[in-house]
Each structure stands twice: as structure tokens, then as C-alpha cells.
Amino acid sequence: MNAGRLNVRHKNVKILWVVPAYPEAVEGLLSEFVWNDWFIRSYWPENEPRVRLMVKIAAERLPQPGRLLEVGCANGYLAYIFQRLGYDVWATDASEDDRRNDLFQRAGIRYRYGNLNDVIPLQEYSDCSFDVVLMGEVFEHVLNHPAGLLKNVYRLLDRGGLLILTTPNPSTLANAVRVLRDKYLLWGTHEFLHEPKLNGSRVIDKGEIHYREYPPWILRDLLNEIGFVFGQIQYIHSGIAPAQGVAKRIIKQFIGMVGLADTRIFATGYVIWAKKVGEREIDKR
């Protein structure tokens, strides 16, 4: 399959447009996570461009905030952002996190435990339950049946519902260099080698492992096969974080200045959206 045929934007996503409530939601988030220096100085600055793009897609593709499920919510920061933006938020994950649970309780976010590697994942939710499903940096962690997980996401989306999925981009210049240097390893290779994946007949959730990173055309074809109407893929850079070394920050700034940060060979990830609608309906948009 020729990846060049994809509907992909190569423009930098550092745009002036922003949901009016977004800055306030971010301020609230950083206040909630002030105790976590790694999140404030490293994770959030690097991932904020991706989150901002997800917010933009949701605002553009849906007439108003609706019922939202975050699949694989981890510490809950993304669910919190969307709740502050007016969405009716549910979240699911297989990890235990008392601070996240406390945050969700105070924010009014409803949480259910869920192992995405179950034979029938997300079976706790009924058909057509949500207007939006978010999967932020989750799909690469699924071992058992990634296609089956997306089929169940399709089931629980209402007609007109929106899937927004982000995942690492493996097709980069940096990864090509790593392969040539015999250094390319997926995140969590040590854990993959040493830790068991099964507990009896059940697959254990292992959030530390990237089992597979997918070029975007593979996800596009899978979404079409399931029944989604594919919308768009946008490559996305990671932001500059205070915790990063000086050399890395300079390189990132230069790549951004010359307009290459959100092209396939430099982008660290991509954001894909698709809808559960008929072909005619999406053609009108």
C-alpha cells in the first residue's frame, strides 16, 4: 500500500486557533499535577501539541461536546482536559492509581477498570453509548487483538460518533538511523523479554511495552475494513520540554523553524480521526 496516497497534512500544527476554554483547562490540569515534577517538566510540554490537536479535531468534527470515553486513560490527564471542556467523560484503564481516582472523583469523571487485552474488551459499555472515543498513545500497547479492540470501539460509538487515535510514528529518519546503527528497539524491549504476558488464560496488561508501532496506512486500512469512514491523518511533533538537554532542544527548534517538524520523517507521532457515519454524510462536510 502506498503511504503517499494518504490524506495527510504536513503543515505545522502550531496554529492560532484554539478552543476558548482550552487554556483554562490546561491551567487547571497543571494545578492538579503540580506535585508531579516529571509530568510538569517533561511529559506535558512534550505532549501538549498532540493534545491540542485532539481538542481541535473534536471541536471541528462535532457540533457540541457530548458523551466521551477515554480508552486507556493512564493518569487521567486527557480525560480531565476534555471534562473541563464540557464533555460528559468516562474513562477506562487496567492500572491502579489512587491519585487519578481521587482526581476523577473530584472532577466528576466516571471510571471503570478495563483490560484492553480481554477477549471481548469494553464489553461493560453498551452499543452506541458515546459520541467520542479517545485513544491517546494506547494502540501500540495492545497485545492480544488490536483489530478486535477497534471493532468494539466502533460498536460503542453512536452514529456520527468520532474516534480520535494517536500513536507513535515508526517511519522516521531517526528510527532509520537507529536501525543502521543496530540500535532500534521498541519501548519496553527489556520488559518484553523478561516479563510473562499471561496469567492463566488471560493476557496481562503491560503498559510499559510497545508491542508494535504501525505506519499510518495500516491503521487507515483497518479502520475502513471495520466500517469507519476514514477522515484524516496528521503527523505531529513532540514539544520542547525544560527537562530535555540543550542539544535536543536546539535541534527541535531548528526542525520546527524550517517547517519539517510535522512531516513523516521527523514527526514523533500521528493523530488519526474517523467517524461512524455513511459515505454520503461525510462527503457533505
Q: What is the DSSP string of 151-178?
A: HHHHHHEEEEEEEEEEEE----HHHHHH
The domain of 255 spans 3-283
Q: Count of domains in the chain? A: 1
* Stated pTM of the model: 0.90
Distinct helix (H) and strand (E) counts, the chain? 11, 10
- CATH code of the domain in which 136 resides: 3.40.50.150
Q: Is residue 146 within a helix (H) or strand (E), and if so which, with residue range?
A: helix 146-156
Residue given cell 460498536 in the structure block: 155
pLDDT per residue, tens digit, the chain (285 aa), is 333 334 333 333 343 345 789 999 999 999 999 999 999 999 999 999 999 999 999 999 999 999 999 999 999 999 999 999 999 999 999 999 999 999 999 999 999 999 999 999 999 999 999 999 999 999 999 999 999 999 999 999 999 999 999 999 999 999 999 999 999 999 999 999 999 999 998 999 999 999 999 999 999 999 999 999 999 999 999 999 999 999 989 999 999 999 999 999 999 999 999 999 854 343 333
> CA–CA separation, 62 vs 59, rounded Å?
6
Residue given cell 499510518 in the structure block: 216
